[in-house]
Amino acid sequence: MDTLDSAILRLIQSDNRQSAADLGQAVGLSVSAAGERVRRLNAAGVVRANRAVVEPRAVGLGLCAFLFIDLEPRCDEVAFAAAVAALPEVQEAHHITGPHSWLLKLRVADTAALQALLVGRIKALPGVMRSETLVVLDTAKETTELALPPAPQGDAVR
């Protein structure tokens, strides 16, 4: 991956609907060269997905919460990971260091839905020993965009 690929990634992270013509113009490539680079980045798995980012409140999922999970010492971590990955309300699941085993990001409609998810499905998973829930009151920033390194000074990329 070179500086042109990085420049293209910075552009499509913020809006992946840009045409190859627009990308090419922005980075100084022909339409076909820009399109080929995007295809190559997709094929190589550098771009994991091309999808819409949905506003959670607009679809009735206004409550965001983070959940720390403590697992029993000999718990099957792989089975736990697979089980939480299968829950559509779980947006992120991270095996973490520190006093807890896992950190989950959840999106649900309201506190009743959160309680039902916690009690009926997450705490019922084998190996779950304890949980701690943090309910989000407000979000100042939430993004999927990575802080890619800038193009080197003097580079032709605009």
Partnered with residue 103 across adjacent β-strands are: 68, 94
Does residue 150 surpass a pLDDT of 90? no
Backbone angles phi, psi at 151, to 5 degrees: -65, 145
Give the residue from 19, 21, 23 showing the smallest Cα distance to 8.
Answer: 23
The domain segmentation of the chain, as residue ranges, is 3-43, 56-135
pLDDT at 153: 60
Domain 56-135 has CATH 3.30.70.920: yes
Average pLDDT of 68-86? 97
Tell me the mean pLDDT in the region 116-143.
97
Strands, sheet with 128-135, edge to edge from the N-terminal-most edge strand: 90-95, 102-108, 63-71, 128-135
Q: Name the token pair of 75.
A: 């718990």
For the entire predicted model, the pTM comes to: 0.85
Rounded average pLDDT over 93-111:
97
Res. 75: pLDDT tops 60 = yes
State the average pLDDT over residues 9-22. Answer: 93
Q: Going by CATH, does the domain composed of 3-43 fall within 3.40.50?
A: no
